[in-house]
Structure 1
Amino acid sequence: MSLKINSGDLGKLMPMHLAVDPEGRVYSCGKILAKILGNVSKIDEMFLFQDESCVKYFLSQIFSGNPSAERFLLRINGDPALPLRGQSIKISQNISIINLGFGVHLSSAVQEYNLTSTDFSPSDLAMEFLFLHEANLAVLSELARANTYLEAARNQAQILSITDPLTGLLNRRGFDSEFSAAFERRKIHPFALLHLDLDSFKEVNDLLGHSAGDRILIEVSTILTEEVRAGDKVFRVGGDEFLLLIFTPEPHSEIQKISKRIITKIEAIKLPSILGKVSASIGIAIPDDLQGNCREKLLEFSDKALYKAKSYGQGKFIIWKEAVVL
C-alpha cells in the first residue's frame, strides 16, 4: 500500500519541510520556510555551503539511505546566526523529504520572523516551548528584581549598622573598620587620631533635657564635618564622644590649627546664660609617636591625652607625649 499527499497538505502538517530531488531542486516547501527563505527553487540558494562540491556531497548523503547521514545542521543563506537542525528521509529515487527545526533558537526565530501559532502545525509543541521559555524569562526577571531589592536592603542595613542615627556620622563599628584600614596605610597616608569630648555635657542634659542635649550634639557634628577636609573621617562613638581621623602629611602642625578651629566653633554654640558656654577637650595621638605596631596603643594614647587636656581645664587640646597645654 502506498500513501499519497499533496504538497499543500504536507506544508500544513510539516511547515518546516523541504522536498528535494537529487539535483537540489525544491518541489515542496513548508510555509514557515517559505516565509523565511522567500521564493527560491534550489537548496544551494537557501542554505550556506562552502562550494558546489559541498552541495553535491550533502545531496548524495540524504539520498544514500545511510542512517548516519539523516541528521545534519544547516545555516540559512543571509542569516548564518540562525542554525536549523534537520532530518531527512528518502521516499523515492527522486525525492527526499527534509524536515527542519529551530531547536534552542526558537525564541529568536519567532521574534526575528514574526512567527505566530498559526504558522506552526497544531500538533507542534513549539509554541508551548516558547511559552515556557517566556515564563522562565519572566521568573528569572522577577528573581533578578528580588535579588536587586535584597541587595539594596542588605546594603542599606549595612549602612545603618555603621551609622549613628542622631547625627548621621559613622558610629563605633564604622570607626573600627576605617581606623584599621588607616593604620595599615599610615606610612603612605599619615594621619592623626583626635578624641573629642564635650566638657560638662551632663549638666546640659540635667538642666535643659535630652532634646536640648541632642540639638547640641547635632550642632557639634555639623561643626566637625565642616571643619575637616575631604577624605577626613568623623565618628560619634558615645554620648558626647567623637573620634576624628585627620589625614595630613604634616600631622603635628596641621592638627593644632584644626583643633583650635574646632574648639572655637564649639564654644560659639549658644546656650541659656545659666549654663555659660559649651566647650570641648581634645586628645590627639599620632602614629609617628608610636613605638611598635599596635593600633590599640594609639587609641590608648588619644584617650590619655584627652584626660590630660581635661585636667588643665575646659577647651584645651593635648598631643600625646607633649608636656605643655597647646
Structure 2
Amino acid sequence: MSVVSFPELSVDTVAKAIPDMIQLRTVLNTALPFHLMIDQGGGITHAGPSFQKLFPDEQIIGAQFFDLLKVRRPAGITDASGLRAIKGERLILSAPTLDCAKLKAVAIPLGQGALLIDLSLGAGVLDIVSRCNLKNKDFSPADPTVDMIYMMEVQSFVYQQHKTQSQKLQGAKVQAEEKAYTDALTGLANRRALESHMKRLLRRSRGKGFALMQIDLDHFKAVNDTQGHAAGDRVLHETACRLRRQMRASDLVARVGGDEFVIIMSDYGTAETVRVVAERLIDDLRQPFQFGDVACRIGASVGATIVSAGSKRSPEEILATADRALYTSKDKGRGVFHLM
C-alpha cells in the first residue's frame, strides 16, 4: 500500500494560514465532521460534531483516544506514538461502545506531536446511522457515505417490499390450497383432501394400514323438508363438530358431499376397535340437534373397510368397498355398522 506523505505543519504555519483557530475548527467541522485532534500524549483536544454524536454519553474533550477507540489494523498500535509512526496510512478502528463497529481513519500530523484524525463510517454504517440518529447534515457534502447509505436504504426497501410481497403471495397460496382442500360449509376436509390423504397412506412403505368409515345421515332429508335448508346446514355443521370431537387428531374427517362423511383412522388397531368407534359415532349422532326451540333428530349408518399395509387397492376401489358396506348397513335397517 502506498503511503501518503504529509509535511509537518508548525503552529506558526497553521496560524499564518488560518489566523483564527476558531475559524480552523469551523472549517474542519464542516469539511471533516467526523474528525478529532489529539495531542502528543493521545488526549483529545477537539472533536467534530458528528464524531461527538457517536459517543453521546462520553466526555470527549480531554478523554484518551485509546479509551474510546481501538486500532484493529495495522495491528499493534496502542498509543499516540504508534499513530504518528504510520501517518497517512489507512486505519481500521473499532469502538466497543458501538458494538465494535468498524471505522476507517487516517492520521495527519499537525506538528509538535499533535495529530488530526479523520474518520469515516465503515462496515455496519446503517446500524451506526440509526443508533446515533445521524442525518445528511452530519456528513461532509463530499462524503460518498451519504450516497452509499441512500443506495443501501433503497436496496433494503426493495428487499423488504419483495419479502412482503412474497409473504403475501405465499399466504395467498396457502389460503388457496386450504380452500381447495376444505369443505366450505363444515370446515372439514373435502373429497380432494380425502383422496390426497389416502394416496399418502397407500404410499407409506412402513405403514400399519388404515380403516375407512363411510357415514350417511339417516332421515336428513326430512330435516330439509320440514325445517328448511338453513336447519339442514346447521345439522351438517353440528355433525362435523361431533365427528371431530369423537376422533383423534391424527384421524381425517371429511365431508364428501350432501350428508355423506368419510373418516380415515390411521393405525386403527383392530377390527373390533373400528366397530367400537363406529357404534360410538352412531350413538352420538342419535342425540337430538337442538337449535333454540327446535330439536332435529337424525341417525347415521356406517360402512367400513380395512386397508392392510402394502395394499394395492386404489382409493377408488377402497371407497367403493366402503360404499357397499354402507348400503349393507342401510339394508339392515339403518343406524347400524357393517364392516366389509
| Aligned match of 2:17 | 4
The CA RMSD over aligned residues, in Å, is 4.2
Aligned partner of 2:173 in structure 1 is: 154
Decide whether the 8 Å contact of 2:39 with 2:114 is kept in 1: yes
Distance in 1 between residues matched to 2:96 and 2:215, nearest whole Å? 77
* Residues 249 and 168 (structure 1), Cα distance of their counterparts in 2 relative to 1, 3 Å cut: closer
Query: How far is the alpha carbon of 1:170 from its aligned partner?
Result: 1.1
After superposition, the Cα gap between the structure-2 partners of 1:75 and 1:166, relative to the gap in structure 1 and judged at 3 Å, is: closer
TM-score, normalised on structure 1?
A: 0.72
User: Residues of 1 paired with 2:282 and 2:267: CA distance?
Assistant: 19
Q: Deviations over 1:232-285 (max 9, x none)?
A: 3211012222101234553311222222233344345579xxxx9744332211
Letter in 1 for 2:86: Q
Indicate if the aligned counterparts of 1:45 and 1:77 stay in contact, CA closer than 8 A. no
Match of 1:15 among 30, 33, 58: 33
What residue in structure 2 maps to residue 59 of structure 1? 84
Taking a change above 3 Å as real, the CA distance of residues 54 and 189 of structure 1, as seen in their structure-2 partners, is farther
Match of 2:188, SS? coil
Name structure 1 gaps, 5 residues minimum.
63-68, 321-326
Equivalent runs, 1:184-223 vs 2, <5 Å: 184=203, 191-199=210-218, 205=224, 210-223=229-242
Distance 2:31 2:289 in 1: 91
Deviations 1:102-159 (A, max 9, x none): 1343333344445455544455465565566556555655554444444333333322
**Residues 82 and 221 (structure 1), Cα distance of their counterparts in 2 relative to 1, 3 Å cut:** closer
1:298 paired residue among 318, 321, 325: 318
Judged with a 3 Å threshold, the aligned counterparts in structure 2 of structure 1 residues 14 and 249 are, in CA distance, closer, same or farther, namely: same
| Deviation, structure 1 residue 167 | 1.7
C-alpha distance in 1 between matches for 2:49 and 2:232: 82
Kindly provide the amino acid, as one letter, of the partner of residue 61 in structure 1: I
Counterpart contact for 2:84–2:115, Cα < 8 Å: no
Count of aligned pairs: 309
Secondary structure (helix, strand or coil) at the match of 2:100 reads strand
**Alpha-carbon contact 1:117-1:127 (below 8 Å) kept:** yes
User: Are residues 157 and 76 of structure 1, via their aligned partners in 2, closer, same or farther at CA, if it must alter by over 3 Å?
Assistant: same
Partner of 2:336: 316
Is the CA contact (8 Å cut-off) linking 1:16 and 1:101 kept in structure 2? Answer: yes
For 2:318, the aligned partner's letter is L
Matched-pair contact (CA < 8 Å) for 2:121–2:145: no
Aligned twin of 1:47: 69
Compute the displacement of 1:172 (Å): 0.9
Q: Which runs of 5+ in 2 are unaligned?
A: 1-13, 291-295
Corresponding residue number in structure 2 for 1:324:
none
TM-score (norm 2): 0.70
Inter-partner Cα distance in structure 1 for 2:240 and 2:68: 75
CA deviations 1:74-127 (Å, max 9, x no partner) are: 223655612211245668897765421013433333444454555444554655
What is the alpha-carbon distance in structure 2 between the residues aligned to residue 139 and residue 282 of structure 1? 57
1:81 and 2:100 equivalent?
yes
| Partner secondary structure for residue 70 of structure 2 | coil
